Structure formats: structure tokens, C-alpha cells
Amino acid sequence: MSIIILIPGLLAIYVALTQSPQKAFLNVYIPVVFFLPTYYTWKVAGFPDPNFQQITVLPIIMIWALRGMQGWKFSFIDIMVFGFAFGVGYSEYSHIGYSESQNFIANGVAGAVLFPYILGKSLIEPFNSREEFAKRIVIILAIVAILASYQSITLSNFTIWQKVLGRFFGEQGWDWATQYRWGLPRSSGPYGHAILAGIIMVTGYRIQRWLEWSRVWPSHIRQLSWLPISPARFFTLVLLVGSITTLARGPLLAAVIAAFIPMIGYTKRRWFVVGILFTVIVIISIPTINWFINYVSVDPESVETKSHQTVIYRWQLIINYIELAKDKFYLGWGRFKYPKVGGQGSIDNHFLLLFLKHGIIGLGFFLAIMFTMMIRLFIHSMSQPQTGLPGSSLGFTLLSLYMVMFISLATVWMGGQTLHLFFLMTGWSEAYLLSKNENITTNSTILPTKDKFQFRRTFK
């Protein structure tokens, strides 16, 4: 029954051959990444067991390569991405051999790191498709947010995806039961865990804010003619609610902090605003650090609130596991062989988990990718003139997405579709920086962002 996993792959082949790999990327792969779970696989004897995402991306990238790798341009960040992929793949292989690591290498390295990065870099900016790409993500996530309300409304232990698809995959996927916080069910959608859903929903919300500020959405969509509000505002509200219903504190805190980044683009005195923000951060950081140390330096059994216990738990994770990670400094312990500290089986910090599993090679390349992109996006965005559409700077928006990731990953591992999202985002960001294109392009019409006058656009 799990052979149904071939359906999106066959659709991807058809669209890539009859139209183009770029159309298959936008219209098949992106919906599959964000709408279908990664925890379902098709068991194939002697071969890696593909999930929906892997079976969809593989024919697209093969046809794209055979047709000349349109849009691809080598850049320095490629070394970091390929280094990260090789580092974590080799780390796992060195510990358990190929037969046991093939699924991780195929799905978790090639399918979730290399292929999304390559296609994100090659098939968005070089084809002037940044708004199409962003819209696909927003529309899919809006649908996910609406369907995910099934958990909240029915108080079901499982998502609608598990109810519909679970029957085709036997025992797979049922471990991802609904989590609760403050007595309320936490929406997780097709992403397994509510925190992963929070990261993805908050990212979608930030992308939608950029689309809304850039006035990319038409004032009227025939399929949504019944709405009493504009389509842009509808998508913004749906993704806002979708983010909140995950009850994921880390991503929601990250969303609040990241919201300040696009605001820098509002003013011509950007360096002055950045200077003020930096000064405020320095002033409040010293008392905040002292407060935090006192907050976590108590016996977790002596505190009454669950949230306080959670913060102490995550602080003690670092203290207890950092020395173990140093014992296997270069390649780590592997995904399943690292020793467990009693009472701390769940390592809710992706940076620590990377160090523990794949050593300084995996962690080092990942941090290098993240900080290199953040620094380059910041410098690039600060050098651009103020746009005619306030808040529409793509550079600041992409920088805010990295901030969401950075803060969130200190509270959870990078699992499920968050890995695909990160490397799609990295490929898109790299292509954006290489293109040096600040125009808003919609329906093949290029609209400069430095308009002296504001024009109303009419959509048919």
C-alpha cells in the first residue's frame, strides 16, 4: 500500500518532461515538501527507503541536470553546503556502515540538504520566480494551517494527515501523537512535532508579510471572492493563527525578535537604528545574563512551573552533554550511538545535537553556513537604498528567516521539513545575493522598488 508514495514522483516526472524542471519544482516539489509528512517511507529491499520528498525531488534534479543545469552558478557557499552534507553523511557511515546509513544519506543528506539547496539556488532567482516561489509556500502553509485546526477542534490525538495516510503505511507515523500545553492541543500539521510546525509557520508568516508589504497579491482572487478582507490580509491572519496554535514558545519568541529586522529597512538612517538596537542589547544583556544564570541554577524539583523546569532542563543539557561531545570531537558519536544522560534522553538543542552526533565537522559547517549568510544578507541589505514599498526588502526578510531558525534551533532539533526549509532558504538567499536584483517581478512585469510615485496595479 505504501507504493502510493510514487504518485508525486510520477507527477514530477510528467511536469518536468512536458513543461520544465522549474515548473515541476514550483508546482509539485514545493507543495510536497510542505504538505506531506516526511515520516512515511516506501520500504524497498536493497535500496534506500524513499519518502514523499525524496521520490519527488529525484526526477526533477535528474532531468534538470540532463538539460544543462540551467540557473546554476558556483559560489563559495557551495563549499560549505557540500562540506556539511559530506561531513554528516560520512560521520554516520563511519559509525554504522552503508547498509544502516543509506536511508539517512539518501533522505536526510541528499534529499533534504543537497537537492533543496541546488534547486533553490538554480530555479528561483535565475527564472525571476521569487514571488511565485514565495506564494507557493504561503498558499500551501495556509491550507496546512486550516487543516491542522482539526487537532484543536476535535481534540484528536492524531492529525488529519495521519488519519488519511496512516492506513497506507502500517505502523509508520503513529508515534507522532498530539502534544499538549496549558491543557490545549498543539497544532503540528504534517510536520510531526508542534515546534517544527511552529518554525515552519513562523517562516511562512514572515514570507507572507514581505509579499503583503510588496503589494504582490492582487486585490481580488476569484476563488476567494467571498472574503470580506483582501487576499493578502487573509493569508497573513491565517498564518498568524497557524503559528500561534502550535503553542511553540521558541519559534514564537523568535518571531517577535525577527519582526524587528525588516523594520530596519523602513528608514534611511539604518546604521543609526542598528546602533540604537545594538546599544539596547548590550545594556540589557548583562542583567539578563545574571538573571538567567540565577534562574537556571536551581534544583528543577524545587520549582513549581513546568516552563521553569523546561528552561532548567535545556540548560543542563548543555552542561551534561558538552563533555561527551568533546570525547568524539571530529566525527561525533553517530545518530544512535551517543551515550544518554539519565533523565535527559531528549536533546532539545540542534547545535548541541549536531556536535554530539556529527562532531565539530557537522556543527562547524552548519554554523559557517548560517552566520556567513546572515552577515552577507545584513551587509547587502544595509547598502541598499530605501525601497518605494516600505518593508519590501527581500534581504531583510531573508535575514529575519535566519534569525527565526537560529533562535528556534536552540530549543529543538532540526527535523522533518525544517531541514528542507533551511536549505531551500539558503539556496534562495545565495541566488538572491548573486543576482543583485532588488526588483519586484510579478507576472513577468518588472516593477522597480525605487519608484518615485506609487502606482496601482490591476490584475485580470
**pLDDT digit string, tens, across residues 127-157:** 999 999 999 999 999 999 999 999 888 889 9
Amino acid (1-letter code) at residue 111: G
Q: What is the pLDDT of residue 449?
A: 45
Task: Please report, for residues 118, 245, 297, 382, 383, the alpha-carbon distance to residue 77 in angstroms, rounded to integers and kept in the order given.
Answer: 11, 35, 40, 21, 21
Q: What is the pLDDT of residue 433?
A: 96
Q: What is the pLDDT of residue 440?
A: 64
- pLDDT grade, residue 256 (50/70/90)? very high
* Mean pLDDT, residues 263-280: 84
Q: Where are the beta strands (DSSP E) in 256-410?
A: none
Q: What is the pLDDT of residue 343?
A: 77
Summarised one tens digit per residue, pLDDT across range 154-190 is 889 999 999 999 999 989 999 999 999 888 999 999 9
How far is residue 356's CA from residue 341's CA, in Å, rounded to a whole number? 12
How far is residue 95's CA from residue 90's CA, in Å, rounded to a whole number? 9
* Mean pLDDT, residues 388-417: 87
pLDDT at 325 over 60: yes
Contact (CB, 8 A) for 126 and 137: no
Residue 133's closest CA among 421, 453, 437, 389? 421
pTM, 2 dp: 0.91
Q: What is the pLDDT of residue 459?
A: 42
The domain limits of the chain are 2-267+298-439
Contact (CB, 8 A) for 416 and 191: yes
Q: What is the pLDDT of residue 389?
A: 63
- pLDDT grade, residue 252 (50/70/90)? very high
Contact (CB, 8 A) for 330 and 360: yes
How far is residue 353's CA from residue 340's CA, in Å, rounded to a whole number? 12
Amino acid (1-letter code) at residue 210: W
Contact (CB, 8 A) for 295 and 433: no
Mean pLDDT of the residues in the chain: 89
pLDDT at 441 over 60: no
Q: What is the pLDDT of residue 277?
A: 84
* Mean pLDDT, residues 104-133: 96
Summarised one tens digit per residue, pLDDT across range 273-313 is 888 888 988 888 888 888 878 777 777 777 767 778 878 88
Task: Please report, for residues 27, 81, 98, 400, the alpha-carbon distance to residue 125 in angstroms, rounded to integers and kept in the order given.
Answer: 16, 19, 36, 19
Q: What is the pLDDT of residue 273?
A: 84
Name the percent of the chain lying above pLDDT 70. Answer: 94
Q: What is the pLDDT of residue 392?
A: 64
* Mean pLDDT, residues 45-68: 94
Residue 397's closest CA among 374, 414, 418, 420? 374
Contact (CB, 8 A) for 457 and 215: yes
pLDDT at 443 over 50: no
* Mean pLDDT, residues 107-111: 94
Name the percent of the chain lying above pLDDT 90. Answer: 65
- pLDDT grade, residue 47 (50/70/90)? confident
How far is residue 142's CA from residue 147's CA, in Å, rounded to a whole number? 9
Summarised one tens digit per residue, pLDDT across range 10-45 is 999 999 999 999 999 999 999 999 999 999 999 988
Q: Residue 222, class by beta-carbon neighbours within 10 Å (0-12 exposed, 13-18 middle, 19+ buried)?
A: exposed
Q: What is the pLDDT of residue 287?
A: 87
